[in-house]
Copies of this chain bind each other. A is one copy, B any other.
Amino acid sequence: MNLRDFRYLLAVTEYGHFGRAAQACGVSQPTLSVQLRKLEEQLGLALFERDRKTVVPTSACERLIGHVRAAVAEADAILAAARDLCDPLAGNFRLGIIPTLAPYLLPLVFAPLREALPTLTLEPWEDQTLTLLDRLRAHELDAALLATEVDGTEFTSQPLFDEPFLAALPPEHPLAAREVVAESDLAQDILVLADGHCLRDQALAACGQGGTLGGALGGTLRAASLSTLLSMVAAGYGTTLIPGLAAGTAQDMGIVLRPLKERTGRTVRLAWRSSFPRRAAAEAVGRVIGDRLRGFAAATGPI
């Protein structure tokens, strides 16, 4: 039993004439005769009453024809849907983004993405690195914007741009007087994010990994978001190290920003499953974001 046979069947019921039905189907008349005869044998019933003059569907055929029409319609729907879906640059694209990047990057790239990939619907999803990787693994995300290396063969990643870190200081802080701040100087009273944020680890590493954390809150505060962290800095509770894209927000809060001596930073990259079939979409998204942010390191380096 075959969808093609169903189309033949519908053509014959429509035209009441094997020859014209065959023409409509783009096959020869014997082909239709033979195939429909076979279909009748498979179903064990006569589908047409062949009179010398006319070809009339039997009552059994009329009982079946609704299902036949439905089956063919579903097949056509599959083809039509496939046509819509076959462009890898169209459709939904579920993009994971780490929380220290999302609020500052998304506003910059949303419009360019929409312009460059008008048929792609971006579905951003904000979570920490490990969660994003889990969701990638579970096929719940198509790709993720991360600030860490991705190793192993499971994922493929593409570096998009370098984002320098900046020292974030309360205006009255002693270090605020300097033009450039050494990473190690921040260690004294640095405030950091909660566990799981890659920025936390990177900030600690930059300021001298095992170094003792000074300050009143350095050892206890585990800010859940960069926004909270900035508020604490603005309130004078300590210093921190922020990603360059957050500079504008920090400045608006009255925080003093200084470039770092070692020019420490992070590389933002896009990662996807190596087996992800819409690699083209991932690369296109990466390219648009990269193009928009290229030269960001140079521009904000000296502020």
Contacts and interface: CB of A to CB of B under 8 A. Distances in A.
Interface in A32-88: 43-46, 49-51, 56, 58-60, 63-64, 67-68, 70-71, 74-75, 77-79, 81-83, 85-86, 88
Count of chain copies: 2
A75 B64 CA distance: 10
Contact of A64 (B2, B71, B82): B82
Given A51-B273, A71-B74, A43 B1 contact: no
Contacts of A273: 49, 51
A44 B78 contact: no
Interface string A72-116: 001101110111011010011000000000000000000000000
Interface in A1-44: 1-3, 43-44
Contacts of A88: 45
Contacts of A214: none
B59 A78 contact: no
Contact of A43 (B74, B82, B276): B82
Interface residues of A toward B: which range?
Answer: 35 or more
Given A49-B139, A275-B51, A277-B49, A67 B74 contact: yes
Contacts of A63: 81, 85
Interface string A265-282: 000000001011110000
Contacts of A43: 78-79, 82, 85-86
A59 B92 contact: yes
Contacts of A142: 59
Contacts of A83: 44
Contacts of A74: 67-68, 70-71, 74
Contacts of A58: 277-278
3 nearest CB pairs, A to B: A46-B277, A44-B86, A71-B74
26 contacts: A1-B75, A1-B78, A44-B83, A45-B85, A45-B277, A49-B276, A49-B277, A51-B273, A59-B91, A59-B92, A59-B142, A60-B86, A63-B81, A63-B85, A64-B82, A64-B85, A67-B74, A67-B75, A67-B77, A67-B78, A67-B81, A68-B74, A68-B78, A70-B74, A71-B74, A74-B74
